[in-house]
Structure 1
Amino acid sequence: MDETVRELAERLLSRGYEDLPEREQRVLRRIASRAAISRNVNESFHERLTMGQRIADRVAAFGGSWTFILLFACVILGWVGVNAWLLTVPPDPYPFVFLNLIPSMLAAVQAPVIMMSQNRQAAKDRLAAAHDYEVNLKAELEIMRLHEKLDALRQHELVEHFRTLEARIEAMADPRRQS
């Protein structure tokens, strides 16, 4: 198999196997062994997440949802309603200083969590792009191999056709066969 991979590198990529990047070597090894290269990148990425990363992703998903926005709006309206109209001695009277502090603290905690989640999503996207490159490269190289096989088959058919024609011409030129 080792010699096949080296020959594939020379024939399909016009470069030595050792001169290729690791992922292209991996693709050639998969072609030589006729193994699939496709895999679910999401599963392998999610398997490596820590508990903290999973929680951060859930917090970011919830913090960026309409459910959070509507729930937060209801809490603010409820806070204002209770402190402005229902309680005679409100713990947070108008202009609701404590209420203003709560969204600020929430934003201070939520922003880094969302950024961590976005950074992980970007890393996942880079991983998916690298995998897509490998799949596309393998498909392209397999197509090149198919073209080589078709060209060889056509060449073989042409050779056979010429042999048939040559035999006919010789039969027509041989006077012993004409009588």
Structure 2
Amino acid sequence: MIGAADPETLARELLGRELHELDDEEQAVICRVAAGTYSQLDADEAAQIASTFGDRLADRVARVGGSWGFILFFACVLLAWVLINAGYVYGVPVFDRFPYIFLNLMLSMLAAMQAPVIMMSQNRQSKKDRITARHDYEVNLRTQLEIVRLSRKLDKMVHLAIREAKKAEDSIEEVAQEVRKTTD
């Protein structure tokens, strides 16, 4: 990558703008590029470091609550509830007759608890997506800067090679003229 350099010079030479004209994120990337440093964490690690216990718990609850296993388990629980309270399971007392008011209360309480937890998980995921986007942006900007630097270096090398080829051609022409003079 680009070695240590002045951020002002890098911004001017590679992006064609002054450092103060760049947004904060671009300035930070240019400064890291100029210093020769980079972020050693990937986006997932950075998001994990920024997460709290509640965030991780919300993710787990949302992961379980949004799985087929949970849906199938919950469907079995609902079916068992209805069968027990409809009197189809002998030896088990009916505790919530039709219209299953207690079941409605339990489902409402579950929904009241699950909805905010799922929203917390979605908020965390969007924060993680923003971290990933910033990380991707930095990688893309660094790549773009490196491509520009390599392109300029290649242009200089090509121009140098052309000059050297012209010098060699001129030398060959001089030698050819000398040979012609000596043979005449």
TM-score in same-fold range (> 0.5): yes
Specify whether residues 164 and 49 from structure 1 end up closer, same or farther in structure 2 by C-alpha distance, changes over 3 A only: same
From 148, 157, 160, the equivalent of 1:156 is 160
Aligned partners of 2:112 and 2:102: how far apart in 1?
15
Aligned partners of 1:102 and 1:3: how far apart in 2?
64
Specify whether residues 37 and 151 from structure 1 end up closer, same or farther in structure 2 by C-alpha distance, changes over 3 A only: farther
Counterpart amino acid of 1:13? L
Q: Deviations over 1:99-120 (max 9, x none)?
A: 1221122112211111111111
Alignment check: 8 A CA contact 2:7 2:34 kept? yes
**Gap regions ≥5 residues in structure 2:** none
Partner of 2:10: 8
Partner of 1:137: 141
**Gap regions ≥5 residues in structure 1:** none
SS at match of 1:39: coil
From 88, 91, 95, the equivalent of 2:95 is 91
Partner of 1:43: 45
Aligned partners of 2:76 and 2:179: how far apart in 1?
107
Aligned partners of 2:175 and 2:128: how far apart in 1?
70
Say if 2:111 is the partner of 1:117: no
Partner of 1:58: 60
Specify whether residues 2 and 33 from structure 1 end up closer, same or farther in structure 2 by C-alpha distance, changes over 3 A only: closer
SS at match of 1:44: helix
Q: What's the offset of the Cα at 1:8?
A: 1.5
Partner of 2:34: 32
Counterpart amino acid of 2:157? L
SS at match of 2:95: coil
From 107, 110, 113, the equivalent of 2:111 is 107
Count, aligned residues: 179
Alignment check: 8 A CA contact 1:38 1:135 kept? no
Alignment check: 8 A CA contact 2:85 2:96 kept? yes
CA RMSD, 1 decimal:
2.5
SS at match of 2:74: helix
Percent identity reads 45
From 20, 23, 32, the equivalent of 2:22 is 20
Aligned partners of 1:3 and 1:89: how far apart in 2?
80
Q: Deviations over 1:117-173 (max 9, x none)?
A: 111111111111111111011101101111111110111111111112223334455
Q: What's the offset of the Cα at 1:12?
A: 0.8
